[in-house]
A and B are shown apart, each in its own frame.
Chain A
Amino acid sequence: MSTPGHPPMTAALAAEQGLTAEEFARIVERLGRAPTFEELAIFGVMWSEHCSYKSSRAFLRGLPTEGPCVLQGPGENAGAVDIGDGLAAVFKIESHNHPSFVEPFQGAATGVGGILRDVFTMGARPVAILNSLRFGRPEAPRMSHLVRGVVAGIAHYGNCIGVATVGGDVYFDAGYDGNILVNAFALGIAPRDRIFRASAAGVGNPVMYVGARTGRDGIHGASLLASAALDESDADKRPAVQVGDPFCEKLLLEACLELMRADHIVGIQDMGAAGLTSSSLEMAGRGGAGMLLDLDRVPMRETGMTPYDLLLSESQERMLLVARAGSEEAVRAVYARWDLECVVIGHVTDDGVFRARWHGDEVCSVPVRALTDEAPVYHRPAAAPSDLEARQRLDLGGVPDVADATAALGRLLESPNLCSRAWVYEQYDQLVGAGTVLRPGGDAAVIRIDGTRRGLALSVDCNSRYTRLDPYLGALLAVVEGARNCVAVGATPLAVSDCLNYGNPERPHVMWEFQEGIRGIRDACVALGTPIVSGNVSFYNETEERNIPPTPTIAMVGLLEDVERHLQPSFLDAGDVVLLLGQTRAELGGSEYLAVLHGLESGSPPWIDLGDERRLHRVVLRAAAEDLLRSAHDVADGGLAVAIAESCFGRGLGVRIEIEGGVRRDAALFGESQSRMLVSARRGRVKRLRELCDAERVPCAVLGEVGGDRLVVTGHVDASVEELRARWRSAFGRLIDA
């Protein structure tokens, strides 16, 4: 069978579809014949890195994905965990990196659109968005344009569709100069026994298409843009970037949720990367079924569209669903109420074959499994980079201790990675949904779970400097950071969604980084009891042979039993006692201080003892339950002095602090030792807090007291809180709007 008008398929044509000669040979062998043009195209997208995970699948199996709270692990559109009261939290994080580098506004916007669909396709109303953004140096070419475009794109989509953007993180690092990262996270709430899955089942059940018409947007977005490194000609990839319509998605969201209150849907999936092809094949694959589609019935936006176009288009805001036979009219009626088109385009079969017809002629006939389960699995070679040891070498003896700690603190607070992100999050609607208890700016966002006393804590983290210095430890620390951020707001860490951003997997050092990262994440997740329920791998983040630092972004979700007992990071009253829980070591490896003040990015990431970390979590959560704390703030990037400053900025209150000797001044003030929490408490509660700390062997030191309007660390720092705050608050705008 071959499509009239098309030449015979060859390896060269296969290369255009992103397939290697070897992969092409496998296809021919599997089919027992040469593929048609359309079949070659769908192999191209389904066997692409983005869709098949061929370079990562073998290793992802090492991640812990089970636990008592897990309702749905990896494998569906999003993961789900039980949060009590008969409810489930449905969430996932996903990357949209290359499209955002090519067209930052639409790339970021459609990233948000895609992740929201992944959540509501499971029957969950999205209630929170977070975004993890990685940019190059602010002064790098195009960088401020990219920052402005990405933030505006996220704002455009999230605000219009009406889901609150409640948190995220932004990092600048030269390693992203040629390849920025946009990882979008969304979380929704669904009844725990009404989670919809994306599985095609029931012979003869209609396959229905709903949403926007199909155009030529994004063709080969998955196979070319997301599965290949960028080079100078990436401007040519511009037509592959999709344009999103958040208003359309708002209608789609409301209509789908309305439909999901009834029982007409057997399976539903959004059309994301590789559009109709991946959604239909994945649904068929999960259901162990086959499918027949009549492509000429697909609603089209352009004239002259071909089967190829329709199969590969990544037009946004479309869903594919399998309905119970006989329910077609009921389904159509719901969508019509929201002025959305809904059309039957095929039906489920039982022969495990994916068939597509064009005006009655068959253009595709491929066993579903060949495209899904039987996609290649690669064990690419891995080897540690030769310069790793050199990178990790740091002789602190050769680094002069800080002379003017006040000036150093000011510089750090204005530095790109530590300054206030208000410039970013004030462009986002943080409030819609009336559930945002703790707005952006703290350690984690806190949202209320409507109809219950509970709340959720949400955080995204990854320190690229740590991961570059030690891919294993850096990844482990990303999970630890996420968990500690949840604890800092009074939540018990529950589960993780991970977005693993790495360079070109065909390079051994990148594969090594990836495997080390998986190991680190696994060890931390096992120790902290937080399974991975969903996630995404983004490979090929390489531009002109420069690879990004390993960036395993960890989205951590935590649960608060009583959201009114949440913690927050600001000092509240003069007279409150300031304490540091945990131990400060003489370590500066990979710290912001070392980078900003000494231009050094070397050493090892901070020491971590997972037992110490768990004990700290228990103390803080106990203290929160007993209402002992006025404030709590994770001590992380920038160290203790930065954490103290941030706690002062909330209400503009000063502190008077004494720190012990024994550790060199810069390590004491700016070192990033793990497992520490800066807290404040009323004088009368300190004794009880000490008891909790002693019982768990967590060091507890009284640092001083809240009061006045200056930040004073006796003998080291003396600064006006207002002045520091003004500089910290305005720095981002000065970097980007210049």
Chain B
Amino acid sequence: MRWGVVTFPGSNDDRDTRSALARLFDDEVVSLWHKDRDLGGSDCVVLPGGFSYGDYLRAGAIARLSPIMDAVGTHARAGGTVLGICNGFQVLCEAGLLPGALVMNRGLRFVCRDVTLRVESLASAATASCASGDRLRVPIKHGEGCYVTSDEALARLEADAQVIFRYVDAAGEAGAEANPNGSAHNVAGVRSERGNVVGMMPHPEHAVDPLLGSTDGRRVFESIRAWVGRSGA
């Protein structure tokens, strides 16, 4: 399969995402520029972490107007796979490709540390080869990772199992202690209705190398490969 990693002005984890994919798989990994108008034949497009446009106005608000986002939207609506990590998640929410929004962390500070995620739903590209209740140890590093949406929308998300990752503690409980940024219901990642578009605040690309720490991030990328393989495109 082919992965396309987008670089917006200000993207920082694009290089790390590409090198993580190169470390894990023999797949082709292409670099996509924000001004490109097509996805270069990518099966999965990744919007990486960073500070696109300096997080000006709102994180992701300006990046989502980039020319490449038209192609991403078309790809998504046709059932293509899209993964948004951190800033990428923010871009997808601003673009309306995922529900909800990300606002400033409740603690008002940037937080960089490892968290534990619980897999909530398997019906998504990012969790397709996980088991329900699986725990993943992955780092977060963000200042605007607090997931918010209206009460009704939140209830619907939960009812439809659109939450794919939740912050939990060592014992697996999704309480306040485990919540690093104030996200509603400890939501760390969500999927679109069809599951082909996924967004997550934690960084799986920074959890693939045993020398650097956890390798649980692999599960996310392996799930995407399985998903793409299953759906044939």
The answer to whether A and B belong to the same complex is yes
Residues of chain A at the chain B interface (Cβ within 8 Å): 152, 155, 159-162, 245-248, 250-251, 338-339, 425-437, 448, 563-564
Contact A155 B20 (CB under 8 A): no
Contact B111 A432 (CB under 8 A): no
Knowing A159-B51, A563-B211, the reply to whether A247 touches B10 (Cβ < 8 A) is yes
Chain A residue numbers with a CB within 8 Å of B50 are: 162
Chain B residue numbers with a CB within 8 Å of A563 are: 211
How far apart are B4's CB and chain A's nearest CB, in angstroms? 19
Knowing A247-B10, A338-B9, the reply to whether A427 touches B112 (Cβ < 8 A) is yes
Interface-central residue, A162, A246, A426, by most chain B CB under 10 Å? A162
16 contacts between A and B (CB under 8 A): A152-B109, A160-B51, A161-B12, A162-B13, A246-B54, A251-B10, A339-B9, A429-B12, A431-B139, A431-B141, A431-B212, A432-B13, A434-B16, A434-B19, A435-B212, A436-B212
A676 and B51 CA atoms in complex are apart in Å by 43
Chain B residue numbers with a CB within 8 Å of A427 are: 109-112
A325 and B53 CA atoms in complex are apart in Å by 33
A575 and B15 CA atoms in complex are apart in Å by 42
Knowing A160-B51, A563-B211, the reply to whether A432 touches B110 (Cβ < 8 A) is no
Chain B interfacial residues counted at CB < 8 A: 28
Interface status of B222 (Cβ within 8 A of chain A): no
Out of A426, A435, A448, which one reaches B111, CB within 8 Å? A426
Contact string, B71-90, partner A, CB cutoff 8 A, digits 1/0? 00000000000000000000
**How many cross-chain pairs have Cβ atoms below 8 Å apart between A and B?**
79
Contact B205 A434 (CB under 8 A): yes
A159 and B10 CA atoms in complex are apart in Å by 11
Contact B112 A429 (CB under 8 A): yes
Tell me the residues in window 177-221 of chain B with beta carbons closer than 8 Å to chain A beta carbons: 203, 205-206, 209, 211-212
A530 and B13 CA atoms in complex are apart in Å by 34
Across the interface, name the chain A residue whose C-beta is closest to B20: A434
A192 and B202 CA atoms in complex are apart in Å by 36
How far apart are B59's CB and chain A's nearest CB, in angstroms? 11
Contact A247 B51 (CB under 8 A): yes
Interface status of B169 (Cβ within 8 A of chain A): no
Chain B residue numbers with a CB within 8 Å of A432 are: 12-13, 16, 141
Knowing A432-B16, A434-B212, the reply to whether A160 touches B9 (Cβ < 8 A) is no
Across the interface, name the chain B residue whose C-beta is closest to A436: B212
Knowing A247-B53, A247-B54, the reply to whether A431 touches B110 (Cβ < 8 A) is no
How far apart are B29's CB and chain A's nearest CB, in angstroms? 14
Chain B residue numbers with a CB within 8 Å of A564 are: 211
Chain B residue numbers with a CB within 8 Å of A250 are: 9-10, 12, 51, 54
A613 and B65 CA atoms in complex are apart in Å by 59
Contact A251 B9 (CB under 8 A): yes
A686 and B97 CA atoms in complex are apart in Å by 59
A246 and B52 CA atoms in complex are apart in Å by 11
Knowing A427-B110, A429-B112, A434-B20, the reply to whether A160 touches B209 (Cβ < 8 A) is no
A427 and B16 CA atoms in complex are apart in Å by 20
How far apart are B113's CB and chain A's nearest CB, in angstroms? 5
Tell me the residues in window 30-65 of chain B with beta carbons closer than 8 Å to chain A beta carbons: 50-51, 53-56
Knowing A250-B10, A251-B9, A427-B111, the reply to whether A434 touches B209 (Cβ < 8 A) is yes
Residues of chain B at the chain A interface (Cβ within 8 Å): 9-10, 12-13, 15-16, 19-20, 50-51, 53-56, 109-113, 139, 141, 143, 203, 205-206, 209, 211-212
Contact A448 B211 (CB under 8 A): yes
A426 and B140 CA atoms in complex are apart in Å by 10
Across the interface, name the chain B residue whose C-beta is closest to A125: B15
A247 and B53 CA atoms in complex are apart in Å by 7
Chain A residue numbers with a CB within 8 Å of B112 are: 425-431
How far apart are B196's CB and chain A's nearest CB, in angstroms? 27
Out of A159, A248, A437, which one reaches B110, CB within 8 Å? A159
Chain A residue numbers with a CB within 8 Å of B54 are: 160, 245-248, 250
Contact B51 A162 (CB under 8 A): yes
A564 and B209 CA atoms in complex are apart in Å by 12
How far apart are B175's CB and chain A's nearest CB, in angstroms? 18
Contact A155 B110 (CB under 8 A): yes
How far apart are A729's CB and chain B's nearest CB, in angstroms? 12
Chain A residue numbers with a CB within 8 Å of B212 are: 431, 434-437, 448
Across the interface, name the chain A residue whose C-beta is closest to B205: A434
How far apart are A661's CB and chain B's nearest CB, in angstroms? 41
Chain B residue numbers with a CB within 8 Å of A247 are: 9-10, 51, 53-54, 56
Chain B residue numbers with a CB within 8 Å of A433 are: 15-16
How far apart are A607's CB and chain B's nearest CB, in angstroms? 38
Apart from A159-B51, A434-B206, 8 more pairs, CB < 8 Å: A160-B54, A246-B51, A247-B53, A429-B112, A431-B112, A433-B15, A434-B20, A436-B212
A248 and B56 CA atoms in complex are apart in Å by 12
How far apart are B105's CB and chain A's nearest CB, in angstroms? 11
Across the interface, name the chain B residue whose C-beta is closest to A339: B9
Across the interface, name the chain B residue whose C-beta is closest to A450: B19
Chain B residue numbers with a CB within 8 Å of A152 are: 109
How far apart are B58's CB and chain A's nearest CB, in angstroms? 14
A435 and B212 CA atoms in complex are apart in Å by 7
Contact A162 B211 (CB under 8 A): no
A426 and B114 CA atoms in complex are apart in Å by 10
How far apart are A685's CB and chain B's nearest CB, in angstroms? 22
Chain A residue numbers with a CB within 8 Å of B53 are: 247
Across the interface, name the chain A residue whose C-beta is closest to B49: A432
Out of A160, A426, A429, A431, which one reaches B55, CB within 8 Å? A160
Chain A residue numbers with a CB within 8 Å of B19 are: 434
Contact B206 A431 (CB under 8 A): yes
Chain A residue numbers with a CB within 8 Å of B113 are: 426
Knowing A426-B112, A428-B110, the reply to whether A160 touches B10 (Cβ < 8 A) is yes
**Closest CB pairs A-B (n = 10):** A247-B54, A162-B12, A434-B16, A160-B51, A429-B141, A431-B206, A427-B110, A155-B110, A432-B12, A247-B10
A152 and B108 CA atoms in complex are apart in Å by 10
Chain A residue numbers with a CB within 8 Å of B55 are: 160
A122 and B54 CA atoms in complex are apart in Å by 25
Chain A residue numbers with a CB within 8 Å of B206 are: 431, 434
Chain B residue numbers with a CB within 8 Å of A339 are: 9
Chain A residue numbers with a CB within 8 Å of B10 are: 160, 247, 250-251
Chain A residue numbers with a CB within 8 Å of B13 are: 162, 432
Out of A159, A246, A251, A448, which one reaches B143, CB within 8 Å? A159
Chain B residue numbers with a CB within 8 Å of A430 are: 112, 141
A161 and B52 CA atoms in complex are apart in Å by 10
Across the interface, name the chain A residue whose C-beta is closest to B139: A431
Contact A159 B20 (CB under 8 A): no
Chain A residue numbers with a CB within 8 Å of B9 are: 247, 250-251, 338-339
Chain B residue numbers with a CB within 8 Å of A162 are: 12-13, 50-51
